């Protein structure tokens, strides 16, 4: 009589099941390790920001006691130093000056940089290559070698001790690197795009604005982020050209207002840094994908 009991699984099936379980566990462990490393890296990168945020809310007795842990509140938190920043300093004036200078510098950079990059890339002139290299070399000159000569220009135009001097000077930094970036980006775009538009009846300017400019958006985003970040962080020109408090930007206004002789308003300094960094970080993260796309595509084509 033939037995109806189920036959034991074969050796190959057992081994296959064991391998599936092994690779499943390995995949889970690998993903867990990856996320753990990512979280650790995020905490390390966010460490200065978290320390600044905690310090900004600390009492003097908590901050200046060397026995206290600097990363926790050993005493109750306070908003006094943040309020001091807004009521006893010209912080809002510094922010307003930074914003309008940044917007003007971004606009000037785009208005001059985009057409210049297009002309050097598309018009096939014999001087285009050397001029492109020359423009990039201008960016490599350290600001410490230029601010004396630029000071004479600022004085000659009557813009000393005015934030308009920064609107005049900063494009000399932003335009060269923007042109170089856009040259690489435009070389990645086929000429057929605007040529087809010109065949359809558009002028070169019309073909440029209707077909090329929309495709340049990632590069334009990279320029906007770069130019505005420069305005918010540049120190040498802002310090050399401007002395009145009402005309200063945040890069010079905050340290000069909150460091008075040998007195450092540490909590207010940290609060200013956090309040400036948060909107820039949010804007940067919103545009991060296009920013990276603009820099990578503009960097590898040439």
Any domain includes 2: no
Residues 6+ apart with CB under 8 A from 229: 280, 284
DSSP helix/strand/coil, 259: strand
- Label residue 96 by pLDDT band (50, 70, 90): very high
Beta carbons within 10 angstroms of residue 70's beta carbon: 13
CB-based burial of residue 138 (10 Å sphere; 0-12 exposed, 13-18 middle, 19+ buried)?
middle
Q: Tell me: the pLDDT tens digits for 45-60?
A: 888 888 888 889 998 8
Rounded Cα distance, 151 and 257, in Å: 23
Number of domains comprising the chain: 2
pLDDT exceeds 80 at position 4: no
**Are 131 and 40 in the same domain?**
no
Residues 6+ apart with CB under 8 A from 112: 171, 175
**Are 121 and 246 in the same domain?**
yes
Any domain includes 92: yes
The pTM assigned to this predicted structure is 0.76
**Are 67 and 93 in the same domain?**
no
**Are 159 and 268 in the same domain?**
yes
Whole-number pLDDT of residue 93 = 92
**Are 101 and 133 in the same domain?**
yes
Residues 6+ apart with CB under 8 A from 106: 174, 223, 224, 227, 228
Beta carbons within 10 angstroms of residue 236's beta carbon: 14
How many residues in the chain?
A: 302
Integer angstrom CA distances of residue 177 from 118, 132, 192, 302:
14, 10, 26, 14
Whole-number pLDDT of residue 88 = 87
Q: Tell me: the pLDDT tens digits for 146-171?
A: 777 888 888 888 888 888 999 999 99
CATH number for position 161: 1.10.3720.10
Structural domain harbouring 243: 81-300
């Amino acid at each position: 009589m033939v037995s109806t009991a189920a036959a034991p699984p074969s050796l190959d099936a057992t081994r296959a099941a064991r391998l599936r379980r092994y690779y499943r566990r390995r995949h889970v462990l690998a993903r867990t390790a990856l996320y753990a490393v990512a979280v650790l890296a995020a905490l390390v990168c966010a460490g200065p920001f978290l320390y600044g945020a905690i310090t900004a809310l600390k009492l003097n007795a908590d901050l200046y006691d060397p026995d206290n842990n600097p990363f926790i509140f050993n005493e109750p938190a306070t908003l006094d130093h943040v309020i001091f920043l807004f009521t006893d300093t010209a912080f809002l004036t510094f922010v307003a000056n930074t914003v309008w200078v940044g917007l003007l510098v971004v606009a000037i950079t785009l208005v001059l940089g985009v057409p210049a990059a297009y002309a050097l890339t598309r018009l096939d002139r014999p001087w285009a290559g050397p001029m492109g290299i020359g423009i990039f070399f201008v960016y490599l000159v350290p600001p410490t070698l230029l601010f004396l000569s630029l000071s004479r220009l600022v004085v000659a135009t009557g813009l000393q001790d005015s934030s308009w001097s920064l609107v005049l000077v900063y494009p000399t930094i932003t335009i060269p690197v923007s042109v170089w970036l856009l040259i690489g980006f435009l070389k990645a775009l086929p000429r057929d795009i605007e040529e087809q538009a010109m065949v359809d009846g558009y002028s070169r300017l019309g073909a440029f604005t209707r077909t090329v400019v929309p495709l340049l958006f990632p590069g334009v985003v990279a320029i906007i982020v770069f130019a505005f970040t420069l305005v918010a962080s540049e120190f040498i020109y802002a310090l050399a050209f401007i002395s009145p408090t009402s005309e200063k930007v945040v890069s010079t206004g905050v340290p000069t207002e909150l460091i008075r002789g040998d007195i450092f308003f540490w909590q207010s300094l940290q609060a200013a840094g956090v309040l400036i960094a948060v909107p820039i970080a949010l804007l940067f993260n919103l545009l991060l994908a296009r920013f990276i796309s603009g820099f990578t595509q503009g960097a590898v084509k040439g």
